[in-house]
Amino acid sequence: MNTRRQWIVAACASMLYLAGPPALAQQTLKIGVNLERTGSGASYGVHMLMAAQIALEEINSAQGVNGHKLELVIEDNRSSPEQAVIATRNLDNAGVFAMLGPIQSSQCRTAFPAANRAGLVAISTGSGAPGLTAQNRPWTFRNAAIDQFIIDELVANLRKRYPQAKNVVAVVDPKDAYNSFLVKTVAPPALEKNGFTLVNKDALIEIPNDVADFSVFVTRIKAMNPDIVLLGLLFEQGKGFLREANRQKLVVPMFAGLGYLTETVAEAAGGIDLWAGQPFDPNAADPKVRQFVQTFKARAEKEMPSQYSTPTYIDAGAYESMYIVADALRQAKATPQSAPKEIREKVRAHLAGLKSYAGLGNQLSINQDGDAVKPTLVYRASGGRWAKL
């Protein structure tokens, strides 16, 4: 009885095995996408893919690349570092000329070394953790919001605006890797360079992400008498903190990392001067930006009605990167029959030497680490709304 069931299972397993992954047409130029389609990063992945597809359709409808159409080969890394390596390998085997993604740093950490070893160009548009590209040269690149640039710019602006300020107090979400990086690694050198002192550098105030009552933390910070507060919290928690700070009259300038540039955060900021920065402004007047944002919004509202519809820097980065890769392929005179190895090298060289490329409302250049340097747009919340400086 049991043996029969075992045979059935074996039969099913072998059918699956024989089925294998589907074969791909050879008439297109393939670009790989290693993204978080499922799992905790699914929202980012799905939106990023949409941005890449918008770029793809635009390029294909305008004669493609040297007359050939582009095609996206999609691999789901399931928001898992282990699967990200497998996805990289699958894309490598599929003969793609370049790979977009992964988005989240935890997947990039394992996928980047794998891509570097395989000699496959990898471009992440979401990861901002320091050192990722520097440790994986020459094949990995980032066209994302690099925290170091943003924080450097923010702090320089703070110094200009508040010349007398000196003491900075930082709060952090202890379990969040992004904010831990921000507060422990990225911010201190920027603060020091601009003449600030991080008074609680060795005694960061930890606010776990399921706290709903911030009163104790705000009271403690008030007692430390800071000139400026660094918010190393995810924006949801940041909102709660801001409201409590307003209630207790802790009205000092504050600044934070990514994710704060939404309306609700500006409202929560109330009387506090809140500063944040980002490399992509969806409200820019630039016609390319307006068109991209419009197309993206329309699609997002139709296909994913319960999720965000305004593109973020991740989506903008993907759109830009598709065009950059298309340019590289054009210059390399790539055809569907080209050998991946030499085309990949040409794409890599093109990216490494990219200077003053006209992106979405900005100009970007790739630095020697492989990171795209774009001007940071600095915003200040006042009167419940964000205003660009």
Partner 1 sequence: MLGQQIINGLMLGSVYALIGVGYTLVFGVLRMLNLAHAYLFMAAPFVAFLAIKNGIPSPVALIAGMSVSALLGVLLYHLAFRPIPRHHALGGFVSSLSFGVVLQVIVVNAFGSMKIPFGTGLSLPDLELGGLILSGVQALNLVMATALMIGLLVVINRTRLGRNLRALAQNESAASLLGVSVRKHVQLTFLVSSALAGLAGMMVAERFGAISAYMGDTYAIKALAVVVIGGLGDLRGAMVAGVLLGIFEVLFQAYAPPGWSEAFVWLLLIATFLFKPEGIFGMRTSRREV
Partner 2 sequence: MNVLLAEPVQALLSINALLTLSLLFPFLAGVWSLGLPGFMAVGAYSSAYLTHALGVPIPVAIAAGTALGAVATLPFGLLALRIRGIYLAIATLAAAELITLFFSHFEPTGGVMGYTGMPYLEARWLVLLALATLLISGWLYHSRLGKAMKAVGSDPTVASCNGINVAYIQLMSLGIGGAIAGLAGACFAHFYSFIAPANFAFHRTVDILMFLVTGGLTPLGVLIGSGILTLLPQYVTALERWAPALYGVVVMIMLAWMPGGLIPANRFSRWCRRGRGMASDNAVAASQMARDSAPRAGAGIASGSTGRVR
Structure tokens at 213: 């009552």
Let me know: does 243 contact 270? Beta carbons within 8 Å: yes
Minimum CB separation of residue 303 from partner 2 in Å reads 12
Alpha helix locations (H) across 20-78?
A: 42-61
> Interface residues for partner 2 in 116-155 (CB under 8 A)?
117, 135
d(CA 73, CA 90): 10
Piece of 179-187, 267-275, 307-315, 334-342 that binds partner 2 (CB under 8 A): 179-187
| Cβ at position 136, least distance to partner 1 in Å | 26
Give the residue, chosen from 175, 341, 385, 388, that forms a contact with partner 2 under the rule CB under 8 A. 175
User: Please, are residues 234 and 179 in contact by the beta-carbon 8 Å criterion?
Assistant: yes
Query: Considering CB distances under 5 to 8 angstroms, the limit depending on partner class, which of partner 2, partner 1, none binds residue 211?
Result: partner 1
Distance CA(60)–CA(54), nearest Å, equals 10
Residue 203 binds partner 2 (CB under 8 A):
no
Can residue 270 be called a binding residue for partner 1 (CB under 8 A)? no
Cα separation, 77 vs 89, whole angstroms: 11
Looking at residue 71, the DSSP 8-state letter turns out to be E
Strands 274-278 and 197-198: unpaired
What CA–CA distances, in Å, run from 57 to 60, 184, 205, 271, 361? 5, 42, 48, 45, 20
The residue within the footprint of partner 1, chosen from 199, 211, 352, 373 (CB under 8 A), is 211
Instruction: Write each residue from 236 to 275 as x if it is in contact with partner 2 (CB under 8 A), else as -, in one continuous string.
Output: ----------------------------------------
- Count CB neighbours of 381 within 10 A: 24
CB of 206 to partner 1, least distance (A): 4
Q: Which is nearer to partner 1, 59 or 205 (CB)?
A: 205
- Shortest distance in whole angstroms from residue 14 CB to partner 2: 11
Question: What size, in residues, is the chain?
Answer: 389
Q: Which stretch binds partner 2 (CB under 8 A): 5-13, 257-265, 301-309, 342-350?
A: 5-13
Angle ∠(137,98,375) on CA atoms, nearest 5: 65
Of 131, 174, 189, 195, the residue at the interface with partner 1 (CB under 8 A) is: 174
Phi, psi of 369 (to 5 degrees): -85, -15
Q: Which is nearer to partner 2, 85 or 265 (CB)?
A: 85
In the three-class reduction of DSSP (H, G, I as helix; E, B as strand; rest coil), residue 36 is classed as: coil
Residue 166 near residue 196, CB atoms below 8 Å: yes
Quick check: 279 and 148 in contact, CB under 8 A? no
Is residue 81 a contact point for partner 2 (CB under 8 A)? yes
> Where does this chain bind partner 2 (CB under 8 A)?
2, 5-6, 9, 13, 16-17, 19-22, 37-39, 42, 46, 75-76, 78, 81-83, 85-86, 88-90, 93, 106, 109-110, 113-114, 117, 135, 174-177, 180-181, 184-185
* Positions in the binding site for partner 1 (CB under 8 A): 38-44, 46, 174, 204, 206, 208, 210-213, 215-216, 219, 236, 264, 304, 306-308
